[in-house]
Amino acid sequence: MKIGDLVKIIKCEQCPAVVGKIVSVSKLNMEGEQVVSVELNFGRGRPQLNRPTKFSVDEVESIRAFF
């Protein structure tokens, strides 16, 4: 996973409304050489109340785009 990749949110206990959304990765949080969590960019505008921006790697799924 790298910055700019698209990911799909597969689970979020804090905000179930974001489950299924496809968003881009804006920051990687590393522990050694392993990615532990990612910060996501939901786009322009004001973020919704209580919507987290930091997700564990277990809560997102990488999307493979074929162009």
**CA gap 59, 1 in Å, rounded:** 14
Question: Which pLDDT belongs to residue 25?
Answer: 92
- For residue 65, list its beta bridge partners: none
Question: Which pLDDT belongs to residue 67?
Answer: 47
pLDDT, mean over the chain: 87
Question: Which pLDDT belongs to residue 50?
Answer: 75
Pull the structure tokens for residue 42. Answer: 């939901």
Q: Is the pLDDT of residue 63 over 50?
A: yes
Question: Average pLDDT in the 35-56 region?
Answer: 84
Per DSSP, helices labelled H in the chain are none
Percentage of the chain with pLDDT > 70? Answer: 91
Question: Which pLDDT belongs to residue 41?
Answer: 87
